[in-house]
Structure 1
């Protein structure tokens, strides 16, 4: 009996995968992308808050890192090997991944009390992220994309053609738009007692927080139970010392002054 060879269908021989595999790939990729972006946003938002950004500006950090990583990855995938700007895009994509990973690690370490978020080096590095991302994106935008002309693999006989002369067309190119001026960020406040960073966000509601609210914030930040006299006389006093206008805010309703 002659040997019979069974051929196994593969994507290379033109056989399409089953419908459930195509559906899982089509639906799964955007679902995983959405889930990872949502899970990454709290950590990147937390790091921005630690660096001194207030709402709503702190929400720009997750979008800046996500958009930066996506643009750099697309530029890397669409430019051929050896093209100008490809290496820069690869470095930018790797840098964006490192930034996103570092933001998650730092946020979780601070949240669980293993790391003090009020450190000068951490605040300085986080503050440099937006201008660094902007500068690199402008560099990628200014780098021209090469046009690849496919080479003919089969020689064709030369055909003599008569080509009518083409009149040159002059196209007016508008000047590039001026870059917007950089927004100078205020210098972050350096508190003598790092526990003040857990109290300062309570003023963002437009009211002067009471003792109970400040105590809850300190416990949630991992500082344990702090005495009422320390909360009012030391921590809240130092916050209002740096920003005297906060002391004039109305007291929060239903909270101990």
Structure 2
């Protein structure tokens, strides 16, 4: 193996364990799990404290009622968050749901702080306010992840090929012109057609006679790409960038490449996209002649 081949192998090979895509996916998964855990713990602490507030203000003898009373506050938060999530999946804003979450969180924070009492220290108020505030911030972090995921899917309009499959290029239909025989010439005396001229002697040159190509050697639907050896890209990023050239025959911009990469879980590194585009142009120099739709 030559030195150039070794460099090409190192630059195009993709190691799943070393790519930043796997690291980014693992971080996103861990953040989502921790957000759910944080929301559950904060909600439980807030609910527990509100039960103590209810028991201390008229519901000490009714244990079941003291445990049910915090639901009249916290369930507004749960309903509002579910409605906000539904609106996000539908790509719209539900202001009524936002109002429910705001009212529920405000009431929860206020009641948790007020339930401490008047003669408590400042740190007691902070301890009481932390759980409902943490629940609110955790929900905001979860919604941010959902919105980012939906935005990536909405902005990406390129369907990437599955792993290991080359994306087919847009076919270009090229018609092969075949010479049509001249119409028969009738003589002055009747419908007797003139005999056809004999074929040229092999080796003789005709100044205006087109060269007849064997129809069996070139199919009418063949293209210049079909007649050349196909270029195989082992790198998935290179495959994706090469497929973008065949969508509208323009130079893919950096934003378009990173959006397509993010949609199939290949990260969104601009440097990786530009490097892949350079490798594709190096292997297929004629792609540099494509016009640039968007600078990138």
* TM-score, with length taken from structure 1: 0.33
* TM-score, with length taken from structure 2: 0.29
Question: Bigger radius of gyration, 1 or 2?
Answer: 2
